[in-house]
Chain A
Amino acid sequence: MDLFGPANKPEIRIQELTGERIRFILTNTDLSMANALRRIMISEVATIAIDMVQFDLNTSVLADEFIAHRLGLIPLDSTEADKIKYPRDCNCSGACKECSVELNLHVKCTEEDTTKDVTSKDLVSHDPRFTPITEGPKDAGILIAKLRKGQEIKVKCIAKKGVAKEHAKWSPCAAVAFEYDPFNKLRHTHYWIEEDEKKEWPQSKNAQDDFPPLDDEIFDFTAKPNRFYFEIETIGSMKPEDIVMNAFKKLLEKISSIQMGLHSNDVPINGREPTRDVF
């Protein structure tokens, strides 16, 4: 298929893939496409996060809203986030099993002269698919609050599906690194220097995977970027390769919804015939 010219036979080479990060090179595609991918991964891949907290009891030194905020930021396993509905798409009035997950937290400190840590491990989820993430049995969990003797926290949390566009707690990525043209051959950037550019500006890690300019290379002002270096680091709620796959899925969804919008516009516009029938 050569619909899009020679610049669009995209290729991907994965350089590194672990439980929490992926590094890959995307080649032979346009900057706009690579950037769309980057933007979607940062802000539009859906995950599950605590969105509502009901305080039954809080005698800790921390204010309710402070604890609620901390609870919201705890990463929950979102590998099956697509099995759950967005609250706005659900028929229920508040929160039901199809659009939310309930988690409970009840901790009381009873010991003298020690502080008790309240961590994400104390959260009890009603749905085993959506639990706070842990890194093996030795993981102490994420600290939420510290209690002294007699202090107690009892809350009910409702976790919902959302995207980071609304609140960053729903972002599956801790960081998305994106680079092209590490040698600045395209001159898209200007390096401020004192004496010597090579000495003062260290090369990026991606430079070893790129093609260094020749000493007498002439500036090609028609050149376009076509090699993009990605590195995605997750917060643990989703596998890195799933984030990339879900980003593509989301982009396809966006296009389809516009196609549907365009289709529904085929009905006569303001009483006129659709314009495409003019020709």
Chain B
Amino acid sequence: MDYSDNADNNNNNENPDENDSDLEVSDILNFHTEKGTVIDPQSMTFSISGEEHTLGNALRYMIMQNPEVEYCGYSIPHPSEDKLNIRIQTTENTTAINAMRKGLEDLKSLCAKITETFCEANNKFDEKNSIS
């Protein structure tokens, strides 16, 4: 199976001088550590530390389900760096942060739904086997 990520094509995000606020490349938000500046609220790259493909791919899928999202892709820039970048570009009707918020909320409810389904299946299985 191919797990190749939808690589982030906007290479201008990866500038090392991201704290220089007059660079237009500085639209990186890091959830856990440093903060960047935001030039365009419709297109942003979020940087999450401590996460990898497990969450990255599922979150990317969930954000893509939003019709207001034009582009969403994730990448792990380097395997020895504990970092996950998610790029979101949206239409005028929403912002990247809001798309991210919705994606997280949706993923949470889907996860809760599957948990529930599994519990039901488990109970059903127990019942069936205690009778026979």
A35 within 8 A of B: yes
* Interchain CB contact under 8 A, B48 and A33: no
* Interchain CB contact under 8 A, B109 and A269: no
Contact of A279 among B95, B124, B125 (CB under 8 A): B95
A36 within 8 A of B: yes
* Interchain CB contact under 8 A, B104 and A36: no
Q: What total of chain B residues lie within 8 Å of the partner, measured CB to CB?
A: 49
User: How many A residues are at the interface, by size bracket?
Assistant: 35 or more
Q: What residues on B are CB-neighbors of A272 within 8 Å?
A: 37-38
How distant is the Cα of A40 from the Cα of B108 in the complex, in angstroms?
A: 15
How distant is the Cα of A3 from the Cα of B115 in the complex, in angstroms?
A: 17
* Interchain CB contact under 8 A, B41 and A276: yes
* Interchain CB contact under 8 A, A29 and B115: no
* Interchain CB contact under 8 A, B97 and A275: yes
Q: What residues on A are CB-neighbors of B121 within 8 Å?
A: 12-14, 24
Interface string of A21-48 (1 = CB under 8 A from B): 0001010011011011101100010000
Contact of A44 among B54, B101, B119, B129 (CB under 8 A): B54
How distant is the Cα of A274 from the Cα of B65 in the complex, in angstroms?
A: 25
Q: A14-B121, A255-B104 are in contact. List 18 more A-B contacts (CB 8 A).
A: A8-B110, A14-B124, A44-B54, A248-B118, A252-B112, A252-B115, A254-B55, A258-B51, A259-B105, A261-B31, A261-B32, A262-B104, A265-B31, A272-B37, A275-B95, A276-B95, A276-B97, A279-B95
Query: What 3 A-B pairs come out closest when comparing CB atoms?
Result: A261-B31, A275-B41, A32-B57
A-B CB contact pairs (8 Å), 12 listed? A1-B113, A12-B118, A32-B57, A33-B61, A36-B55, A39-B53, A245-B119, A254-B54, A255-B104, A258-B31, A258-B48, A259-B108
